[in-house]
Structure 1
Amino acid sequence: MSEKVSQLGDRAVSAIQNNVGQALGLIYGLGMLTWTAFNQMNSNYWSYFLTEICGLEPTVMGTVKAVTGVGEWFFVIIAAIIIERVWLKHGQYRSWLLVAPPATFVCLLMTFVDPVFLDMGAKTAWMIFFQIVGGFFSSFFMIAATSIVPVISRTEADRTLLSQRKAQGNMLVKVLFAAISLPAILAINGLVYRVPAGENAQNAGPAGFTVLALVFGIIMIVMFVVMYKRIDGMDPTQKICEERAAAKKRGEKVPPLAAGEKVGLGEMLKYWLTNLPAVIGLFAEIIRFVAQMTIQSMAMYVFTYAFGDVAMAAVMLTACNVTGLVATFVSEPVARKVGIRATYLVGIGVSFAFSVVCLFVGASSMMAFIVCICGIYFGMNFMNGTMMGMQSNAIAYGEWRDGKTAKAFIMSTFQWCPKIANAVAGLLTGFGLAAIGFVSGMEASPELAQGMVNIICLIPAVCFGVAFAAFFFGYRLTPKKMERIAVDLAAREAEKGADGK
C-alpha cells in the first residue's frame, strides 16, 4: 500500500487518512440521538394518544397505523430519488439537514395535538396526513444523514466511529427516554389539569404529550443545525451547488447539471441490485429487526402467561437496552481491531448462541430467560454498532467497482428494514401463538410457557443462523480489501483533480 500511496502525491495521501475526528463523531451521534428521542414519542405513545386522548376506536387506530406505515415506506423511496435528482443550495446531502428537520417537527408535533374542533372522521384524516407527511420529511434528513457517512469518511476507521456514535446515541436515549418520559407527561398534565399523578393524569388531556414532543423537537432542530454547520465544506457537491445558486441569484442562466453528475432511476436500481454486499447487508439488517421485534412483541405474553409477573417485562426491556448500550461501547474497539465485517459476524454469532441456549433453559426460570434475552441484545447491538459502517463500506465498494454509485438510494433501502421486519415479525408471532393453541385469558401451563419461549427464541435463532451464513459468504469486504479500495478511490480523486487543473 505505501508504495502505491507514494505514487499518488500529497492529495491522495490526504484522501486515505482518517477524516472524522472525535468532535465530529460526537456531534453526529448527538444529532441522531435527538431524532431518536423525538421519534420515541411516536414509537411509545402515539397508539395510546390516538385512543385515550383523541378518542379513536382501537380498530380505527390500527387502521391509521397500517395506512401510515405503508405511506411512509412508499415515501422513503420517493425521498431517495429526490435527493439523488434534486441538488439544493448547500449540497446534495448537507442541505437536507437544514431544511427537513423543521418541516418534520411541525408535522409530527401535529400528531400529538388533539383537534377537538373536528369530528372523528376528520381527526383520523388529520392524523394520517400529518404522520405521512412528517415521515416523508424525516426520510429526507435521515437518508441525507446516513448518506453523508460514505461521503465524509475516507477509511473504515472513520465509518466505524460515525456508526458507533449513532448506535451509542440511539441506545442511550432509549434508556433515558424510558426513565423520564412518562414522569414528565404525568407532571405536566398534573400542572395543567391539576390532576394528581396517581389518578390517571396521563389521560387528563394532551398537554403532557404535546409539550414533551415540542421540547424534543426543538432540541432535534438545534442539533441538526449544529451538524449542518460542522460538515461545512465536506459535502463534495456543496461548491457546485452554491455556485449555481449564486449565479441564479445574479439573474444568470444556469445550465442543467451534466448527465454524469446525477443518477437516473434505472441506474439506482442497477447499482443497488448488483451490489452483493449492499443486498446482503440489507438482508442481515431485516433479520436483526425481525428478531428484535419478535422479542418486543412477545415479551408481554411470556411474562403474563409463562411467569405470571407482567411488571417484569418492563424490567427486562430496560435491562436489554442497558446491555445494548454497553455492547455498542464494547464493539467499538473490537471493530477497530478486527474490522467491521468480523465484528458484525461476532454479533450475529453471539445472538444465535443465546437464542439456542434460551430454547433449552428459558422456560426454567425468569432470571435465566432475562439473562438469555439480554445476551441476544448484546449480540444485536454489536451488529447495530457497525451497521452504518457496514453499509458505507458496501457503497464504497460499489463506487470502486462501477466508478459511480447511488448513495442516497442505497442508504434509503435500509430505512425499509424496520417496516418490513414489523410485518414479518407480526405474521410469525401471530401464527406461532395460534400453532401452540394460545387463546387470550387461558390458564398458564408448563406447555404454554415452553411454547411461548420457543416462539420468542426459535424465530430469532433461525433468523440469526440464516443471517450468519449469508453474511459470511456474501459480504466479503475485509479491512484489507477496504484499504485497497480506499487507495484506488484516492488515486481516482487525485487524477480527477489533476485533470481539472
Structure 2
Amino acid sequence: MKKELSKGLKRFYGIGDLCFTLMSQVQDVFFNFFLTNIALFSLGTTTLITTITTVVDAAFSWVYGAIINGTKPMRWGRYRSWLVAFTWIVPFIYTFKFIKIGEGLLPIVIIIAAGIISSFIWNFPYVANMSIIPVIGKTPADRMQLSSTRAVYSRASSILFSYMGLPLADFLSNFVGEAYKFGALAFVLGVLMVIGYFIHFKLTEGYEEPLYEETPVVEKNNRPSKEKKGTSGKSMVKGLFQNGPLLSLIVAEMTRWLANFVILGCAMYYFQYVAGNSGMLATYLLVANIFCMVGAFASKYFAKKMSSKILFFLSFMLMGGMLVIARLFYSIPWIVIILMAVAQFGFGCIYSTSPAMFADTAILAEWKTGEDGSAWIMGLGNVPLKVALVLRGLLINGVFALIGFSATETEQASTAIQSGISNVFLLIPGIAVLIGGIIILLGFKLTKQQIEQMSEDIEMRKSS
C-alpha cells in the first residue's frame, strides 16, 4: 500500500546529503593543498596519490548498487540498513587521508589506503540514500519532491562549506596543531555525515519493510524465501542493457558532470588570466552556488507543470546555451558571471531532477525483469560522476598543452591564451551539455503516463 510522504521527509530529506557533501568537500578543496603544503610531497608524488585514489574510486563506482541489490537484505531492509550499518567506520579511516605518518613510502601507502577504503565504505550509504527514493516515493511527484529537497540541501552545503571549511580547520588547529588540522576537520565532518545519514534512517522508518522481525528459531522456516535472496545478476544485466532510457541517461549525465568539473577546475585560470582579477573568483562562486541552489529548489515546482524528462532536457539546453553565449563575451567578466549564474540555475534543476530520472529507469527495469534493482540502477548514477572526475584532468591539461599555456605566464596573457582558456572554461562544457540534452531528448523514451502505469503493474504483481 502507498504511504504518503511525511512532513519530515518533505522538509528534511536531504540533511544527510548536506552532511555528506560537507565531509566530501574536505577532500575536494583541501586534499591537494594538504599533500603539497603540509605533507610536503613533490608534485609527482601528489599526482600519483590523487590519480590512484581517483581511478580506483571510479573503477568501483558500479559495484555498490550491485552489492546492495545482489546480497541478502540486512535487518532494517535492503536500503535503510546501508545508511547506518558501516557508516560509523568512515570518520576513523577518512582522518588518515589527511595525516602524514612517518617518511618515505609509508605515509604514501597510508594516505592512498585511507582514501580508497573510506571512499569505498561511504559510497554504500550514498547509493542507498538515492536508491530508497523510488521505494518511499511511489509517484513521480513524490520522487521529484524528494530529489528536489535533497538537491537543495546538497547545494546549500557548498555555500556553507565556503564559509566554514577553512575557519573550522584553523579553529581545530588550536587543539591538534597545524599539521593535523585537516585530519581533525575530516573527522569532525565525518561524524556529522554519520549523524546526517542516521537522521535519514529515522525519517524513512516504516517506508521499507524490514527483512523480518527477530523471532524464535521455529519460525525461521516460515520466512518467505524470496526475501532471503538478492536480485539476480541476470536481472541486473538485463536492467541495464535492455534499458535504453538508462543508457541515454548515463551518457547525458557524463556530459553535465564533465562540464561541471571542468568549469570548477578552470575558474581560477579564467579570473586570473582572462579577467585579470582573481579576486572575482569568490564572487563568482557565491553567485553561482546561490543560483544553483535556487534552481534545485524551483525544479519541484517546474515538475508540476511538465514531466521530469522535459524539465531535464530544458535544463540541459539552458545550461549549455548560457555557457556558449558566455564564450562570446569572455572579455567582459561581469557578463560572464551573470550568464554563468543562469547556467548554474540550469545545473541546479538538472541536479535536482537526476535522481527522479534514474528512479524512473529503475521502475522500467523492475517492470521488465520482475525484480527490484533500484540500488543497482541508482548506483549507476555514480559511474558518470566518477569517470568525469578522471576525464576532467585529461581534458583541461590536454587543451592547455595545445594552446601552449604555462604557469609562468603573467596576468597579461596573450589573446590566444585567453581565448583558449575561455574555450575550455565556457565553450567546450557548453557544447558537451547541449549534446547531453539532445541525447536525453532522443534516447529517453519514457513518459509520465508510462511510468505511472508500470508502477501500478508492479504493485499489483507484488500484491498477487
Give your verdict on TM over 0.5.
yes
1:448 and 2:432 aligned: no
Map 1:37-52; keep pairs closer than 5 Å: 37-52=22-37
Report the CA distance shift for 1:253/1:113 in structure 2 as closer, same or farther (over 3 A).
Answer: farther
- Deviation of the 1:247 alpha carbon: 5.1
Structure-2 residue corresponding to 1:88: 74
Larger radius of gyration: 1
Partners of 1:439 and 1:216 lie apart in 2 by 37
In structure 1, distance between residues paired with 2:116 and 2:235: 27
Match of 2:269 among 274, 283, 301: 301
Match of 2:187 among 214, 219, 229: 214
Alignment of 1:3-402 (within 5 A): 14-15=1-2, 19-84=4-69, 85-115=71-101, 118-190=102-174, 204-206=178-180, 208-236=181-209, 238=210, 241-243=211-213, 246=215, 257-258=225-226, 261-363=229-331, 365-402=332-369
What is the count of residue pairs matched by the alignment?
Answer: 461
Relative to structure 1, the CA distance from residue 378 to residue 276 in structure 2 (aligned partners, 3 Å threshold; closer, same or farther) is same
Question: What letter matches 2:405 in structure 1?
Answer: F
Query: What is the CA RMSD across the aligned residues, in angstroms?
Result: 2.3
1-side partners of 2:103 and 2:179: how far apart? 17
**Matches of 1:448 and 1:113, distance apart in 2:** 38
Structure 1 273/351 Cα, relative in aligned 2: closer, same or farther at 3 Å? same
Instruction: Tell me the alpha carbon deviations over residues 54-85 of structure 1, each in whole angstroms, 9 at most, x when there is no partner.
Output: 23222212111111122223333333332122
Aligned partner of residue 370 in structure 1, secondary structure: helix
Matched AA of 2:13: Y
Cα deviation 1:114-165 (Å, max 9, x = unaligned): 32xx223111111111111111111211111111111111000111011111
Deviation at 1:34, TM superposition (A): 0.8
Quick one: distance in 1 between partners of 2:335 and 2:227? 60
**Distance across 2 between alignment mates of 1:456 and 1:51:** 25
Kindly provide the amino acid, as one letter, of the partner of residue 232 in structure 2. Answer: G
Q: Distance in 2 between matches of 1:479 and 1:125?
A: 50
How far 1:355 moved relative to its partner? 1.6
Out of 280-289 and 439-448, give the one that drifted further.
439-448
Q: What is the distance in 1 between the residues matched to 2:74 and 2:144? A: 28
2:391 paired residue among 424, 433, 442: 424
Counterpart residue type for residue 110 of structure 1:
F
Q: How far apart, in 1, do the equivalents of 2:422 and 2:60 lie?
A: 37
Deviation at 1:265, TM superposition (A): 2.4
1:490 aligned partner, one-letter code: E
Worse-superposed segment, 39-48 or 260-269: 260-269
Instruction: Determine if contact 1:247/1:253 at 8 Å carries over to the other structure.
Output: no
2:40 & 2:403 partners in 1: Cα distance?
A: 35
The residue type paired with residue 459 of structure 2 is A
CA contact 1:163–1:386 (8 Å) conserved in 2: yes
Instruction: State the 1:487 CA deviation.
Output: 2.6
2:357 partner amino acid: M
- Work out the CA distance in 2 between the residues paired with 1:252 and 1:378: 53
Residue deviations 1:37-61, cap 9 Å, x none? 1111111112212222223222212
Q: Which residue pairs with 1:200 in the alignment?
A: none
| Cα pair 1:294 1:459 within 8 Å, conserved | no
Which residue of structure 2 aligns with residue 482 of structure 1?
A: 451
Q: Is the 8 A contact 1:160 1:336 kept in 2?
A: no
Q: Distance in 2 between matches of 1:427 and 1:306?
A: 22
Equivalence for 1:201: none
Once residues 70 and 478 of structure 1 are traced to their aligned partners in structure 2, the CA distance between those partners, rounded to angstroms, is 36
Deviation at 1:314, TM superposition (A): 2.8
Question: Identity of paired residues, percent?
Answer: 25
CA contact (8 A) 2:248 2:439 kept: yes
Tell me the TM-score normalized by structure 1: 0.86
Task: State the alpha-carbon separation in 1 of the partners of residues 361 and 76 from structure 2.
Answer: 26
Evaluate the alpha carbon distance shift between residue 256 and residue 103 of structure 1 in structure 2; reply closer, same or farther with a 3 A threshold: farther
Match of 1:197 in 2: none
- Give how far 1:25 is off: 3.1
Separation in structure 2 between the aligned mates of residue 69 and residue 431 of structure 1, nearest angstrom: 18
Report the Cα offset of residue 467 of structure 1. 1.1
- Cα separation, 2, equivalents of 1:214 and 1:414: 27
Q: What residue in structure 2 maps to residue 433 of structure 1?
A: 400
What's the CA shift for 1:28? Answer: 2.2
CA shift, 1:491, in A, is: 2.6
* Contact 1:80–1:412 (Cα < 8 Å) also in 2: yes
**Which one-letter code corresponds to 2:88 in the other structure?**
P
Q: Give 3-state SS (helix, strand or coil) of 2:30's partner.
A: helix
Q: CA deviation at 1:393?
A: 1.0
Residue pair 1:271, 1:405 contacting (<8 A) in 2 also: no
Deviations 1:433-476 (A, max 9, x none): 22223233235123322222122222122212211211011112
**Partner of residue 413 from structure 1, selected from 374, 377, 380:** 380
The offset of 1:233, in angstroms, is 2.8
* Residue identity opposite 1:321 in structure 2: N
Q: Are the aligned partners of 1:351 and 1:375 in contact in 2 as well (CA < 8 Å)?
A: yes
Letter in 2 for 1:140: F
Instruction: Tell whether the 8 Å contact from 2:140 to 2:448 is kept in structure 1 after alignment.
Output: yes
Distance 1:314 1:341, change over 3 A: same
SS for the counterpart of 1:76 is coil
Give SS of 1:310's match. coil
Question: Is the contact between residue 97 and residue 114 of structure 2 (CA under 8 Å) also seen in structure 1?
Answer: yes
- The 3 A distance-change label for structure 1 pair 378 and 254 is same
CA contact (8 A) 1:272 1:406 kept: no
